Copies of this chain bind each other. A is one copy, B any other.
């Protein structure tokens, strides 16, 4: 520019005015000419792309006006740090206090109020959509005018002992809305007579009784202790054995600490009046609408239809104070050593009470009732792929105050939602995929809220849902992380835990700076051959919380995690206050997590895991871990049943072969992903679709043998107690049955068929990983 004026100045004076004008004009022309050429060069010579793309598209490329570059860019890990830093333990405490102010059982106004509060908060934090979803589901409530009781009657029918109508008020647990202890879906009824003690009420306990004491329970009430198996199974097994009613008590051996007299509110040990509520329905979802959402237009079976499968005999839970009184009156032989718990009595089997003419009475008036349960579903719209959902959820309904189950999880979910929503609202960031937060209703009754919702939207979810992170109980101790999850999520879960500062000062002092370090230290994972994997254990997900329906009905890869107590030290059946009225804010704030450090750790882990799933260019699923897991399942099967299977299944070796083929496809898939063109948004989408499809490919339409609603062939829990930790649950169930079945041939046909279905399913999963136009193997 300066030189231009120099040219102009070089001719000076009036004499040269004409010439000067020419010079100025010429200079302007020169500059303009240069400008024109320059623009042309700049636009078409240097500017990337767009010139004649038809002729040589590969060399050029395409410009997409208005589209952010994040369409082909990986998520920024820095965002994860910001989220982790933003997680605030005082907020979690604030949410937990609010969530636990009142009892909020499913179907109650209190629980709906909390749902609306959550909706308001999510909208305030910048969510793009929040909806409440009503489902009219069959719930079950005790009759306030006719309380449930268990009694010891004397020979004249006089009441000697009676179970208390509610738990003792120790720290103000006397809200009029608090429901007394009961077992949901117990049929109403008055039953009387002898009583038999059957330990934990497992099949093997009845077998022992029959073989060693020549006793059966037909026509009798049974009393069993909580623990080992699902309480609904205890009732079903008792009914299958002809019992007329079931009393379930919490034994001090399973819910206190070596006779430590200090119980709640001094410690977290269960006090003597504490009683564990809980459903005894063994199905999932609204009992009257199996397979379909309980919406206005739904068909509802009558309650007594075989499709409904409600419990057949009355059941009632009691605490150990009254249990001790009742069991002290028992007659009959002494119970074997391992049936004796922590009560200060001689454990006897029954059936008669010691005193002649005395008997047990159960008077149960619990009634089923259709009420509306609400989920709250909130969405943060994804920037690039709004139709892909990364989900986090927990239920909201609690048996009473629910400070641990579920509100410790809900408080954590709220804080995760807050930090995520507010970062989006600030305009600094928006995740690639949509993030969906879910507050489920009526989980306690049998995963009703999540089941109905998944049933209603399973077509959308099967196509669009990427992963589901469940945090139900977020904190039940300060020892370590504990996780259940699918193999695809192992690595992403570890990576998230590695970013979480260790909340335990002693652990930090021991040099374990992250939550992951303690997890790995306390739960190192060995493979079937005993070799260390140098990662912490993640167990297979069963049906214990809302992830079950996402996984089984929609094939959504899922994980569930929490902070937990030292299970090696404390041999309790669960955290002691589980489902009692004493799950209070007081318990959390004064006993278990005073500073909410452990809550915070789980919120941080969830925030980072959800971010990485929602924001990574390639979804961070590790398909190799599925190869490893399949091989582990096979080895466990081999160890437990291999000899039998080899003789009965001529094609038993095919299992090894299909798993080896699967592993080969996994490696080829990983190679393709490593070498793919990351400038191609469609190629990225296609790979992510393959990653998301894999879990769904392990579903089978027919479901497990005799459990058609369980569609995932690998990751359901086995319905037997004898084979925890491994998989092929349908096969294991059938083999377990065979061990005592007479008509062995027909049962072996079922094994053969289900074995083929497993082979087929692993093969079909492998086909989803192949090159999308070459998914048919060479024959």
Contact = CB atoms under 8 A, between A and B. Distances in A.
Contacts of A42: 38-44, 46-47
Contacts of A756: 292, 297-299
A773 B386 contact: yes
Interface in A91-139: 128-129, 131-134
A48 B34 contact: no
A87 interface: no
A280 interface: no
Contacts of A379: 773-774
Interface in A273-306: 291-293, 295-299
A63 B66 CA distance: 11
A170 interface: no
Interface stretch (A68-76, A171-179, A212-220, A403-411): A68-76
Contacts of A129: 773-774
A43 B35 CA distance: 12
Nearest to A776: B131
Contacts of A46: 39, 42-43, 47
Given A702-B291, A763-B297, A776-B131, A27 B7 contact: yes
Interface residues of A, number: 119
A33 B34 contact: yes
> Quick one: copies of this chain in the complex?
2
A386 B764 contact: no
B53 A69 contact: yes
Contact of A49 (B44, B65, B686): B65
Given A39-B39, A456-B764, A459-B697, A679 B299 contact: no
Interface string A759-779: 110011101100011111011
A333 B453 CA distance: 63
A776 B377 contact: yes
Contacts of A725: none
Interface in A46-67: 46-50, 53-54, 57-67
Interface in A153-167: none
A349 to B, nearest CB: 45
B297 A759 contact: yes
Given A35-B38, A38-B38, A63 B62 contact: yes
27 contacts: A3-B32, A3-B33, A4-B29, A4-B33, A6-B22, A7-B27, A34-B38, A35-B35, A35-B38, A35-B41, A39-B42, A40-B42, A42-B43, A47-B48, A54-B69, A62-B64, A62-B68, A71-B681, A132-B779, A293-B760, A296-B654, A299-B752, A386-B773, A387-B772, A459-B765, A460-B768, A460-B775
Interface of A: 1, 3-4, 6-8, 10-11, 19, 22-23, 25-27, 29-44, 46-50, 53-54, 57-72, 128-129, 131-134, 291-293, 295-299, 377, 379, 381-382, 384-387, 434, 456-460, 463-464, 651, 654, 658, 677, 679-682, 685-686, 689-690, 693, 696-697, 701-702, 752-753, 755-757, 759-760, 763-765, 767-768, 772-776, 778-779
